[in-house]
A = this chain, B = another copy of it.
Amino acid sequence: MSGTHRALPLDGRVVSDAVAERLKARIAELPFVPRLVFVRVGEDPASVFYVRSKQRYAKRVGVDAETLVLPETVEQAELMATIARLNADPETDGILVQLPLPAHLDAAPVLEAIDPGKDVDGFHPVNVGRLWSGAPALVPCTPLGLLAILDHYELDVFGKHVVVIGRSHMVGKPAAALFLGRHATVTVAHSRTRDLGAVVRTGDVVVAAVGRAGLVTADMVRPGAVVLDVGMTRVDDRIVGDVADDVWGVAGHMTPMPGGTGLMTVAMVLQNTLTAAERRRA
């Protein structure tokens, strides 16, 4: 690597804007207005921020979005009743329960109570099963956003080796499914992986989705690799990714943090809302 090399940035803002234009045009042609309901419990600042970002993007693309705010102390049964009501509402196309929930609530039964056809987060086991079975599914937004970035910059993964670091239900595992579907060779590494550097160096594409600041360093990345940073850790009031700054000197393409994959997650919530609406109302 030369001291002056710098990876080309994969700009989440640019891709998010392009997706918004595309969604807006498609939604404008529908004979109905898709409707998305966010369910937020309490006033966790990160949740307030994320829901507001999605709500703003919804408005931009022409989706009718509403946020139901339930009190921090809401009981599980009342949250479940809210989901049931939204499932039954013929006008509601998408339901998104913002995580994390307060500690006294159990998220799994809530997520499984959402009608899989309205599950724009793609976390319901039925959608997970459809994704891995190759059936039409609603797919988690962060991994979908990774594909959207690669597609926008015309970076094809066919036959390439993609190394996904992290095996979460929300990112690592569904990303593996999507990249396999794109005919990449896929490796899933994680906290138990021995010699992470040796594994990551086999990657033509590296997805870092662990949430450990600066985990991926320049010596671990193959020169010219495409590096997608999903991790987000707060360090001294800054948001820091899983990928260390020195990787810019080695990678061929790389997402900035912030301004990279996180913006795409927001965009894909609305893409999923359109998908859900079109399937439901077909």
1/0 contact trace for A194-208 toward B, CB 8 Å?
100001001000000
B169/A185 in contact, CB under 8 A? no
B125 touches A130 (CB 8 A): yes
The verdict on A73 contacting chain B, using a C-beta distance below 8 Å, is no
Number of copies: 2
> How many angstroms between the C-alpha atoms of A186 and B135 in the bound complex?
23
Residue on B nearest A165 in the bound complex, by CB? B185
Please state if B158 and A192 are interface contacts (CB–CB under 8 Å).
yes
Check A180/B159 contact, CB under 8 A, given A126-B125, A132-B173: no
What residues of chain B lie closer than 8 Å to A53, measured between beta carbons?
A: none
| CB proximity of A109 to chain B, nearest CB, Å | 11
Within 8 A of B (CB), among A190-249: 190, 192-194, 199, 202
Residues A131-150 near B (CB distance < 8 A)? 132-135
CB within 8 A of A159: which of B160, B186, B194?
B194
Give, as a whole number of angstroms, the nearest-CB distance from A256 to chain B.
Answer: 28
A183–B193 CA distance with the chains assembled, in angstroms:
8
Contact B180 A185 (CB under 8 A): no
Cβ–Cβ contact B133 & A169, under 8 A? yes
Contact between A188 and B186 (Cβ–Cβ < 8 Å)? Answer: yes
A6 at the interface (CB under 8 A from B): no
Give complex CA distance A167, B173 in Å.
14
In the complex the two chains form, is A187's CB within 8 Å of B186's CB?
Answer: yes
- In the bound assembly, the distance between CA atoms of A191 and B274 in angstroms comes to 34
Distance to closest chain B CB from A151 (angstroms): 18
Contact A161 B128 (CB under 8 A): no
Nearest residue (CB) in B for A185 is: B193
Q: Is A176 an interface residue (CB 8 A)?
A: yes
A37 interface residue per 8 A CB criterion: no
Q: Per-residue CB proximity of A147-190 to B under 8 Å, as 1/0?
A: 00000000000111100000101000100110010011111111
- Beta-carbon nearest neighbor of A172 in chain B: B180
- With A128-B133, A129-B129: A194-B199 Cβ-Cβ less than 8 Å: no
Considering the chains assembled together, what is the distance between the CA atoms of A183 and B194 in angstroms? 11
Tell me if A127 is interfacial: C-beta within 8 Å of chain B.
Answer: yes
B residues within 8 A CB of A202?
A: 199, 202
| Distance between A97 CB and nearest chain B CB, rounded to angstroms | 16
Task: Indicate whether A199 sits within 8 Å of B173 (C-beta atoms), given known contacts A128-B132, A128-B133, A129-B130.
Answer: no
User: What are 12 contact pairs spanning A and B, CB under 8 A?
Assistant: A126-B126, A126-B129, A129-B129, A132-B177, A159-B193, A161-B193, A167-B180, A176-B188, A184-B192, A185-B187, A187-B187, A199-B202
